[in-house]
């Protein structure tokens, strides 16, 4: 079966807004699956090949990536003609649902997701990958490397040249792979799943 892949990039500005009296997800022990760890490692090798520093793993951004990958797999119907793209969130969780449109008019619905879910109070930038036969680290990174909208985030080029990534989170669930980049340190790193 030929894999159908789609790569998406979107800037998700996350403001440290008040008003979240109770986080829907408590501080949790976040762990990376072997495939998620492989994705992180492949990204760091790619950055090293481009003479860039490694980005520390973030438990908070990984938590958001993993929750979003699962939400997409279970509640989002992938279709390039869908008015809500894969940066959307369903109403099936303890978060504010939203339809993220390609014209970015409803982008504000995404800006608070890392804050809303994991108390990450910095800018968040998500890249997403879809494969009908299941997302893998290698296929995701290979696609992102040749994508003019994704590669610049990975290697800090173009409009991202002066950005200093201080945190990265990864999540893979079934057909979706997600990576979140942030400019704010996260002192907690995810563990490797047993």
pLDDT digits (tens, 9 = 90+) for 71-102: 999 999 888 888 898 888 899 999 989 898 88
pLDDT-based confidence at residue 28 (cuts at 50, 70, 90): low
Asked whether residue 95 is domain-assigned, the answer is yes
Which of the residue ranges 25-29, 77-81, 119-123, 168-172 has the most confident prediction, judged by mean pLDDT? 168-172
Tokens 């951004």 belong to residue:
61
Report the number of distinct structural domains present in the chain: 1
Is the confidence at residue 16, as pLDDT, over 80? no
Asked whether residue 22 is domain-assigned, the answer is no
pLDDT tens column, 168-188: 999 999 999 999 999 999 989
Alpha-helical regions (H) of the chain: 34-49, 59-75, 108-111, 113-118, 137-145, 151-155
Asked whether residue 25 is domain-assigned, the answer is no
Q: Say how many CA atoms lie within 13 Å of 56 toward its Cβ.
A: 13
pLDDT-based confidence at residue 136 (cuts at 50, 70, 90): very high
**DSSP tag of 131:** E
Asked whether residue 21 is domain-assigned, the answer is no
Asked whether residue 62 is domain-assigned, the answer is yes
Asked whether residue 134 is domain-assigned, the answer is yes
Asked whether residue 73 is domain-assigned, the answer is yes
CATH of residue 109's domain is 3.40.33.10
Range of the domain at 155: 5-16+30-192
Pairing of strands 176-182, 167-173: antiparallel
CA distance 133 to 140: 12
Asked whether residue 107 is domain-assigned, the answer is yes
* Residue 83 · residue 191 · CB < 8 Å: no
């Amino acid at each position: 079966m030929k894999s159908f892949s789609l790569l998406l990039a979107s800037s998700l500005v996350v403001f440290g807004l008040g008003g979240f009296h109770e986080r829907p997800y408590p501080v949790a022990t976040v762990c990376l699956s072997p495939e998620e760890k492989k994705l992180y490692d492949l990204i760091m090798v790619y950055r090293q090949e481009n003479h860039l520093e490694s980005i520390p793993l973030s438990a908070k951004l990984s938590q958001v990536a993993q929750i979003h990958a699962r939400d997409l797999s279970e509640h989002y119907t992938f279709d390039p003609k869908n008015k809500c793209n894969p940066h959307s969130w369903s109403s099936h969780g303890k978060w504010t649902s939203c339809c993220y449109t390609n014209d970015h008019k409803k982008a504000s619905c995404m800006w608070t997701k890392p804050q809303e879910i994991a108390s990450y109070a910095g800018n968040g930038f998500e890249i997403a990958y879809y494969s009908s036969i299941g997302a893998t680290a290698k296929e995701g990174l290979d696609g992102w490397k040749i994508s003019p909208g994704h590669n610049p985030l990975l290697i800090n080029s173009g409009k991202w040249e002066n950005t200093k990534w201080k945190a990265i989170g990864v999540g893979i669930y079934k057909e979706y792979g997600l990576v979140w980049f942030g400019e704010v340190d996260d002192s907690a790193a995810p563990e490797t799943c047993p």
